[in-house]
Amino acid sequence: MATSSPAGRILAYLESAKNLTGSACGLAGLALTFTGLAGAYWPVVVAGLYGAGALIAPPSRPSVPGFPDASSRLEALRADFTLLREYLDEVDLPPAAAGRLVELTGLLEGLLAPGWVSEALAADPEGVHALSRAVHQDIPESVDTFVRTRWWTRMTPGSEPPERHLERQLELLHREAEQLATGLREAEARRQQTHTRYLEDRGGH
């Protein structure tokens, strides 16, 4: 509801907890007036009770923004990964680099596959960030830089083959993905060990 205009601010206050609580206390003051307990000072009593009620009411607060959760971010990342695969299918790479790229994308596909693996990944914000960086930045940048550098190398032969850098970059990215997969596996192993200890402690062994 918009509250920037004076009318909007007034309406917002009328609906606020402070006004509702104050009004309830004010009605209690009116009840005292009708019973004769407030006497001639009933306006002061009613106003005082209203003010006291407004003071003790919890302050209004803005709603917390609803950011996407990890599962929805992974779902969007899967769609982006599909676009990346379509782009990579159109690029002509040397056999060695192509092989490393297949290994890398296969590992990423396994990590992003719906199921318990991606559920474990969703509990690791740093892991989701690492995968997002690989899909959105690292892999397309490595491949596109190679394509552009290869054209210049053909124009000026004799320089260092760009595929060496591409192979090294893909190797490093694959190592990062492997470390992420290892971390998830170790987390599951710790979970299993914790459950074993729990059952042992429960059984008194």
Helix axes 95-112, 139-155, angle to 10 degrees: 170
Is 194 within 8 Å of 188 (Cβ atoms)? Answer: no
What's residue 1's pLDDT? 45
Is 7 within 8 Å of 48 (Cβ atoms)? Answer: no
What's residue 27's pLDDT? 61
What's residue 151's pLDDT? 81
Which candidate, 3, 8, 13, 10, places its Cα nearest to that of 57? 13
Domain boundaries, the chain: 6-56, 70-203
What tokens does 64 get? 């917390």
Cα–Cα distance measured from residue 112 to residue 101, given in angstroms and rounded to the nearest whole number? 16
What's residue 114's pLDDT? 85
What tokens does 172 get? 């490093």
Is 78 within 8 Å of 112 (Cβ atoms)? Answer: yes
What's residue 116's pLDDT? 82
Helix axes 95-112, 162-203, angle to 10 degrees: 30
For tokens 């990423």, name the residue: 108
* DSSP alpha helix (H) spans, the chain: 6-14, 17-34, 42-56, 70-89, 95-112, 116-122, 125-133, 139-155, 162-203
What does the pLDDT look like over 152-171, one tens digit per residue? 777 677 677 889 999 999 99
What does the pLDDT look like over 110-140, one tens digit per residue? 999 888 888 888 888 888 899 999 999 999 9
Sign of CA dihedral 77, 132, 142, 109: negative
What's residue 29's pLDDT? 55
What's residue 103's pLDDT? 95
In the chain, the N- to C-terminal Cα span, in Å, equals: 60
Amino acid at 69: D
pTM value? 0.64
Q: What is the mean pLDDT of each run of 10 residues along the chain (205 residues)?
A: 56 56 60 55 58 59 66 86 95 94 95 85 87 95 93 73 93 95 89 90 76
